[in-house]
Structure 1
Amino acid sequence: MSRPLVRRAAAALGLALVATALTAAPASAAYGGQCGSGYREVNKTSISGGTVHLTYNNSNGRNCVVVARSNPGSAMDMDAALKRSDSASWQTDPGNFTEYAGPVYLDAAGQCVDWGGVIGGEWVVRTGTNCG
């Protein structure tokens, strides 16, 4: 292979890798403080179109979940969900939202929680996390 051809091939491979890196990761929506004062993000997970944020307030022992869209726009089906792992009862906030679903609160100091959310038709749920 000649040097110019090797350089062009390397450049093309480099551009392909950059394009893959730019498109492979889902967009993340930053936590915007929707749960209120004293809550800090302790966990998060990506969902197509946004991020599900789990927060905790050390002073009152409450968890909070917010589902934030990466690109707010027209109202669409969304939900934020939270429960203690030893319970069957979910706290939810379903509806059509333009920016975020939630906040949903739960007293769960020292206990494992299950949490998640919906954007459009996609669900994501994390179980048995943030114990204690």
Structure 2
Amino acid sequence: MFRRNSARAAALAVMAGSILFAVPAAANATTTAYTPQTACGSSYATVDSFDLPGGTSTVYLTYSRSTGKNCVATIKNTKVGTPTLTGAYLTFGDGSGRQEEWQNFSYYATAYLYAPGQCIYYGGRDYNSGDWWGKGPDWCS
């Protein structure tokens, strides 16, 4: 009987220890309540995305059928709520018509471009990436 209770107590202690160690890790995880639709608008559907170096921000390309515009949003994954360099840009496939926004933002940066029937480049930057990072021309409306 002593061994049975000891084994059960040991199993419970291991389970309790696992739970105690798991909670702080989950509590320290960085999350943001902001989405591409929060940043660009509810009519914008996400088309593509990529992480900036280090995963400190994610760059999202979105498109709205109702407005015919593309929007890029660079949403911070770290230092959320703290003003740090954050930027977003869009250009036509030939590199012209650049629309950009960058400054010390707390949550995200956005840029919009009306480019019907054209392919575009898009990208972003943040305090960790050091420079602009982009993709394209991947999206053609």
TM-score of the pair, normalised by structure 1: 0.71
Structure 1 runs of 4+ with >4 Å offset:
27-30
Identity %: 32
Match of 1:125 in 2: 134
**Residue type of the alignment partner of 2:42:** S
Match of 2:74, SS? strand
- The 5 Å alignment of 1:49-88 reads 49-71=56-78, 72-88=80-96
In structure 2, relative to structure 1, the CA distance for the partners of 1:51 and 1:131 (3 Å cut) is same
Match of 2:44 in 1: 39
Q: Number of aligned pairs?
A: 105
Deviations 1:6-44 (A, max 9, x none): xxxxxxxxxxxxxxxxxxxxx896634111131110010
Q: CA RMSD in A?
A: 2.0
**Residue type of the alignment partner of 2:122:** W
- For residue 105 of structure 1, the aligned residue among 108, 112, 118 is 112
**Structure having the larger proportion of residues in helix:** 2
In structure 2, relative to structure 1, the CA distance for the partners of 1:107 and 1:32 (3 Å cut) is closer
Query: Following TM superposition, by how much is the alpha carbon of 1:61 offset from its aligned partner in structure 2, in angstroms?
Result: 1.4
TM-score of the pair, normalised by structure 2: 0.67
* Contact kept? 1:31, 1:53, Cα under 8 Å: no
Q: Distance in 2 between matches of 1:61 and 1:125?
A: 21
Q: Distance in 1 between matches of 2:138 and 2:31?
A: 21
* Contact kept? 1:28, 1:51, Cα under 8 Å: no
Query: Following TM superposition, by how much is the alpha carbon of 1:73 offset from its aligned partner in structure 2, in angstroms?
Result: 3.6
Structure number, greater radius of gyration: 2
Unaligned runs of 5+ in 1: 1-26
**Residue type of the alignment partner of 1:37:** S
- Find out whether 1:95 has 2:99 as its counterpart: no
**Residue type of the alignment partner of 2:87:** D
Unaligned runs of 5+ in 2: 1-29
